[in-house]
Chains A and B, each alone.
Chain A
Amino acid sequence: GESVGLHLPTLSVQEGDNSIINCAYSNSASDYFIWYKQESGKGPQFIIDIRSNMDKRQGQRVTVLLNKTVKHLSLQIAATQPGDSAVYFCAENIAGNQFYFGTGTSLTVIP
């Protein structure tokens, strides 16, 4: 399988601050990436995706940055809210085959 890792397994932020969750991937052929959010007791939920021909994509309060040179992906959450507390996964895909998921970062928002 492929290696998709995260720099930090846990992250705590104050409510209202911005959060940055990082992900390193190992296969330079990966051409599509997704960030998932998994709340306690639930299944992963799609947040945002990005293709390798882009280096930035924005959603509602979330931004994904892709640096193909160093094989690094980040998820930025603006004005973090208590409801953002969850485990966040990055997943990579190569040429439309299966996704490989990272181990996850647990985000805790402190009120």
Chain B
Amino acid sequence: DTAVSQTPKYLVTQMGNDKSIKCEQNLGHDTMYWYKQDSKKFLKIMFSYNNKELIINETVPNRFSPKSPDKAHLNLHINSLELGDSAVYFCASSHRGGTETQYFGPGTRLLVL
């Protein structure tokens, strides 16, 4: 069974569209994250949720809105997509956050045309 799963794996869309990426973890972890990895492989945290509560919100455009319906799920909705949003988005989870090891999903490759 996949520990952290993301859908879709690939997402190609037009500029201006709205899209969502879903993430689920079956590890029983309390904390989930969204990271963005650019074309140079730089990995930067976007959001972190602990038990459905937002605890980290880095400087991310408000077009990005995370939503955690329960502690096993953390979805990312992106409004008015821009070319610069093209990247790989990784979901991750950890037992309790802090220095706990983070387990990453396989990534969603977003390409905005």
Contacts and interface: CB of A to CB of B under 8 A. Distances in A.
Interface of A: 1, 32, 34, 38, 41-46, 49, 87, 89, 93, 96-101, 103-104, 106
Given A99-B45, A101-B44, A42 B106 contact: yes
Contacts of B79: none
A38 to B, nearest CB: 8
A43 B101 contact: no
Nearest to B48: A98
A49 B99 CA distance: 10
Interface of B: 4, 40-45, 48, 56, 58, 90, 92, 97-99, 101-107
Contacts of A97: 98
Determine chain A's interface SS by DSSP, over half rule: strand
Q: Give 6 closest A-B pairs by Cβ, nearest first.
A: A43-B104, A96-B98, A101-B43, A104-B41, A32-B99, A44-B104
8 contacts: A1-B44, A41-B106, A44-B90, A46-B102, A49-B101, A89-B41, A101-B43, A103-B42
Contacts of B41: 38, 87, 89, 103-104, 106
Contact of A43 (B42, B56, B92, B97): B92
A43 B106 contact: yes
Given A43-B4, A43-B106, A104-B43, 12 more contacts: A1-B44, A1-B58, A32-B99, A34-B101, A42-B107, A43-B92, A43-B104, A96-B97, A99-B102, A101-B44, A103-B42, A104-B41
A109 to B, nearest CB: 18
A42 B37 CA distance: 12
| Most chain B CB inside 10 Å of its own CB: which residue of A43, A98, A100, A101 | A43
